[in-house]
Structure 1
Amino acid sequence: MRDLLERLWNPPFHRYLTLAAVAVLLAGLGYWIAVPTPAHKCAPGVTRPKGAAECVGVSATAYDFGVTPFAATVRAINRENHRLKPGGYVTVALFEPFTAGDQDSVDDTLHELQGAYLAQYQANHNTTGETPDIRLVLANTGADGRYWPQVADQLIGMVKGPDRLRAVTGIGLSTDNNEAAVKRLTQHGVPVVGSSITADSFANGQNGQDTFPGLARVAPTNSDSARALASFAGFSASSSILVYDKPGDPYTQTLQQAFAKLTAGSPYQPQPYTTGPGTPNTFRQITSILCGTPRTTNTILFAGRHVPLRQFINVLGQRGCMDRHFTVLTGDEGSYLTTDTQLDHKALTRNLTVRYTALAHPDAWKQDKTKTGGSAADAAVLDGLLGQSTKQPVGPIGPVDLQDGQLIIAYDAMRLAVAGIREATSGDQTTPRIADVVNEWSLMKGTQKVQGASGWICLDAHGNPYDKAVPIVELTPQGGSRFVKIAWPEGKPPSKECLPPA
């Protein structure tokens, strides 16, 4: 089905009616596809590139990019933007693939959209009178992000003039296109707050270099998540084996590198696979290898995206050594499987446990009584907003699903952006200097930490979160997920001061 959706993009104009008919058919089968809109239907600030079937650019209106699930939240954002007084606000852009047509991307983007809006509403309706107000606009780089140069340049141009752009947030996936976009934005002085990017190569401070000056991140790197996973799982290299995507992408490559450190000393070579039509067959062969190992080999570290992960789980559910128990440990892509209708949930009843490091989870702070690093009270602030989001003045914002953690992490990313903007606004200023916003990232620690719904956000000198809470979550046979425990990159929660060590 994913291949079908990808082939539907880039049609000539005379195929729009056909696409509409296909969309209706897919909707009846339980799928959603964003129907491309002709050029004259694009909104102000948004255009259809030559030969493209989607509208890309930066929208500051009630335009939902032709994707019905976004409509309610976009209307709420537009209503909030129109409430703001001229000259009393700055702009933050949410950078996402708004016209991606597959269900996973639509859900992912919807949740990021809802989280960013709720943080915007909270910021503009606080009782402390903090300024400036926050205007939220939507930046679409296309289904696969290929139009990032056009959108990045458009955002850079919005820094000066009436838009007063002061931050870009979102950047949900660790992809080559997103890396290139963030590099251009930050090298032109635009502050960026990444919500769910986890690739180590997409982080400042690698080998002492800040490749993305002005980038702050909310989610832990893959290396930090792997360290947290190791502190929780207590597994040994001698009982583990690594399965990884070759050649992979920034997310899978850095996850592989992080897992390789954990499995150093394993008696078995890592097992590669290549994503494509032959992947399930490769997994059947890897499963046979697993069944041939001693019974003490019981842990599989999987460095791959969620579609191959689902295929791997389905194959494991049909393995020949069903009497042996295996635990699969993976990164935050595992969260996509909480709603994946193609996952064989019966596999999870056959001596198989699948756990992943989540970006956030709605039950984390309700069940874990950790005294620092976050709290149930911090998470309850977002819960209160969600309770008001079904009707005006906050909502409606459409159906809400917190299981994948995307709404929570996007909410925290927007809150970090707002905190940086407002801390950089001093004296009688109505608009902070953009360079001052960039400088704030290194100061977001200690008493200036952001007490997020996903946990405390204490940034180091490179804009990376220090010892960020990592929920360990388990897929359930009934569908959805079960929170297990909060783990920590440093092996324990940060001190109450939350200051990164030298």
Structure 2
Amino acid sequence: MSESFEEIVPPLTGTARKRRRRRRTALVAVVVLVLAGAVWGGTTIMRSCGTPWSGVSVVDDDCIGVTDGSYEFHPELAHVQEKIAAENARVREATSDYVTLVLVDPLTATARGGLPAEQVRNRLEGAYTALRRVNTTAVAGDASPQIQLLLANQGTSEQQWREVTEEIIDLSTRDNPVVGVIGLGISAKHTQQQAAMLSRHGIPMVGAYLTADGFDYERIPGLVKTSPSNRHYVEALRQYLTAETDIDSAILVRDSNSDAGLDLYTQTLERQFQRQMADMLHFPTQQFAGSSLARTAEPNLFSGVRASICAAAAEGLRAVLYAGREVDLAAFLDSLEQRTCYRLPLTILTAGLELGDVLRGSEDELADANLTIISAATVDAEGWRANQDDPDTPEYYGDFRTAFEEHFHGDHLDDGGAIMMHDALLTAASAVRLAAPEGAASAPTARDVRAQLLNLNVLHEVQGGSGTLTFSKQERGTGVPVGKPVPVLRYPHPDESATRQVGSLYLVTN
């Protein structure tokens, strides 16, 4: 018969007990790591915009990050982003010695300060036009090193813009480094903080629409911009008023959101009106709570302002100095069209705004309401398109327009965003090429490019669509675009004139 028995297990030694505990601990650790990885992976996927590898993730309810154009921020941007992504892929395939620029802008429409999708599209189209020009022609010098363009949605909250900025700083230390930033969004406090952070890390910047005073090389080393400052806009208005009109009295209408110091455009425009138009301000300042980085104004917000304007008109008021943004201007004009003193002509003076979309189709209403708008503008998109041979049209505007219309619809040039972003990238690329005299054999760093910004002077002019620009070191105003024209435009269109421009053309000198 067979003998049956139970397996005898010897007692554990101290060493064996320790070994078993280590095995259990290791098993538990593996399980924890697997679970943590699953949670992290799930969280990453949940936070990602598009694929987990898009470079863009959800931060404070907005898609924030840096992409090569392959992540689509908005359906309206699909066509131009495909072109940018394709150009980037071409550059990477053609050479290993390319460098990188980053376009930083509000690329998604949010209640806290995003631009309309059409304006974002126009800006990206201008950037792409410049990118193709600098990579395939000698407009910025020898077309080497080649340049790829990344897109960064900057956001408005500190967590958003800081995360994007840290990523850009990290990319400036990698292969094919970030050697410059263009765009930089709007003249807001968070933009100033972001620019200061980039400056501390030696990264050069070219602003496209930073019109507030204080965005310059003197206060933020390494920053130049293709737009004038509010000081220049108001000087252009003053030049027009003195030479072309007999207006001698005005009232200032300000956005009270300027008090918090978040909207530097309205804050510094108000300051320049007070400084340069002090002899005209015969009436108490009026204010409204506008939509600077917040909400949309309604016409009834201006009912008190409207009543005060009519009271002042009875005492000889001739003009209103509007220190607000275009998003509130339509509601302000709607309110003024309903004023009881509509028989008294009134001129609205403002600066640096994109008025094409705001005023399109409303000129008859303005005329019926005895309202005239005089705006010191960044560009005269309408006039330059219609009068390309006019002496006041920038010398290289035709070259820009021809290049733009090879890729996009010409009617997008009604908005100045395409011109200004084109000029910002062209400026940055010109500094890149100065910093790389031997082409790809001397691929520059961000600090190399920064050192060349102020060498873009009369010896190396930027052939911009908005003007022939230089950026020499000056006693004041270093970093502003010397040579940039500031056209003063009239709405409704002047009778019997081929252009909206009124008075002699103002040029930025310092």
Q: What is the TM-score normalised by the length of structure 1?
A: 0.79
Pair 1:359–1:318, CA change in 2 (3 A): same
Judging changes above 3 Å, is the alpha-carbon distance between structure 1 residues 161 and 184 closer, same or farther for their aligned structure 2 residues? same
Aligned partner of 1:350 in structure 2 is 369
Write the deviation string for residues 136-184 of structure 1: whole angstroms up to 9, x where unpaired.
1101123767501010010011112223111110113111111111110
Equivalent position to 1:228, from 228, 236, 240? 236
Match of 1:304 in 2: 324
**Structure 2 counterpart of 1:425, from 436, 445, 451:** 436
How many angstroms apart in 2 are the aligned matches of 1:168 and 1:353? 38
Which amino acid in the other structure matches residue 361 of structure 1?
D
Q: How big is the shift at 1:485?
A: 4.1
Partner of 1:268: 283
Structure 1 residue 382 corresponds to structure 2 residue 400: yes
Find the residue that maps to 1:147 and give its secondary structure.
Answer: helix
* Change beyond 3 A, Cα 1:283–1:350: same
Aligned counterparts of 2:199 and 2:158: Cα–Cα separation in 1:
17
- Residue 389 of structure 1 deviates from its aligned partner by 1.0
Aligned to 1:452: 464
**1:255-312 Cα distance to aligned partner (Å, 9 max, x none):** 0001112321222122222226886445222222222234642111100012222111
> Is the contact made by 1:457 and 1:465 (CA closer than 8 Å) also made in structure 2?
yes
Partner Cα distance (1:278, 1:424) in 2? 47
Cα pair 2:363 2:491 within 8 Å, conserved = no
Q: Report the more deviating stretch, 175-184 or 271-280.
A: 271-280
Q: How far apart, in 1, do the equivalents of 2:300 and 2:182 lie?
A: 39
**Residue by residue, what CA displacement relative to the aligned partner does 1:182-215 show, whole Å, maximum 9, x if unpaired?**
110111100110001101032343xxxx3x1110
1:173 aligns with 2:186: yes
The residue identity in structure 2 corresponding to 1:317 is E
Deviates more, 1:282-291 or 1:165-174: 282-291
Which position in structure 1 is the counterpart of 2:489?
A: 473
| C-alpha RMSD over aligned residues | 3.0
Pick the structure with more helix per residue.
2
> Residues 282 and 63 from structure 1, CA distance in 2 versus in 1: closer, same or farther, beyond 3 angstroms?
closer
How far off its partner does 1:465 sit? 1.5
Q: CA deviation at 1:86?
A: 3.0
Q: Work out whether residues 381 and 413 of structure 2, in 8 Å CA contact, stay in contact via their aligned partners in 1.
A: yes
Secondary structure in 1 aligned to 2:214?
Answer: helix
Match of 1:241 among 251, 256, 273: 251
**Cα distance between partner residues in 2 of 1:151 and 1:319:** 46
Alpha-carbon distance, 1:436 to partner: 2.3
> What amino acid maps onto 1:259 in structure 2?
F
Structure 2 vs 1, CA of residues 233 and 321 (structure 1 numbering), >3 Å: closer, same or farther? same
Could you say what secondary structure the match of 2:381 adopts? coil
Deviation track 1:466-491 (CA, whole Å, cap 9, x = no partner) reads 252112233449xxx96324765xxx
Instruction: Specify the structure having the higher radius of gyration (Cα).
Output: 2
Q: 2:340 corresponds to which letter in structure 1? A: G
- Opposite residue 387 of structure 1, the aligned amino acid is E
How far the C-alpha of 1:351 sits from its partner, in A, is 0.7
Letter in 2 for 1:286: V
Contact preservation (8 Å) 2:49, 2:63: no
Q: CA contact under 8 A between 2:247 and 2:318: conserved in structure 1?
A: no
> Amino acid of the residue matched to residue 256 of structure 2?
K
* Distance in 2 of aligned mates of 1:213 and 1:416: 16
Closer/same/farther in 2, CA of residues 141 and 486 from structure 1, 3 Å limit: farther
Count matched residues.
Answer: 438
Q: 1:253 aligns with which of 248, 254, 267?
A: 267
Structure 2 unpaired stretches of 5+: 1-45
Alignment of 1:120-269 (within 5 A): 120-126=131-137, 129-142=142-155, 147-205=160-218, 210=219, 212-234=220-242, 238-248=248-258, 249-265=263-279, 266-269=281-284
Task: Give the CA deviation at 1:493.
Answer: 4.3
The two structures have a TM-score, normalised by structure 2, of 0.78
Structure 1's 345 and 145: CA in aligned 2 closer, same or farther, altered over 3 A?
farther
Cα deviations by residue, 1:13-46 (Å, 9 ceiling, x for unpaired): xxxxxxxxxxxxxxxxxxxxxxxx9626246352
| C-alpha distance in structure 1 between counterparts of 2:503 and 2:400, whole Å | 19
2: CA distance between counterparts of 1:229 and 1:138?
35
Q: Structure 1 residue 484 and structure 2 residue 496: aligned?
A: no
Could you tell me which of 307, 314, 331 is aligned with 1:288?
A: 307
- 1:55, distance to aligned residue in structure 2 (A): 2.4
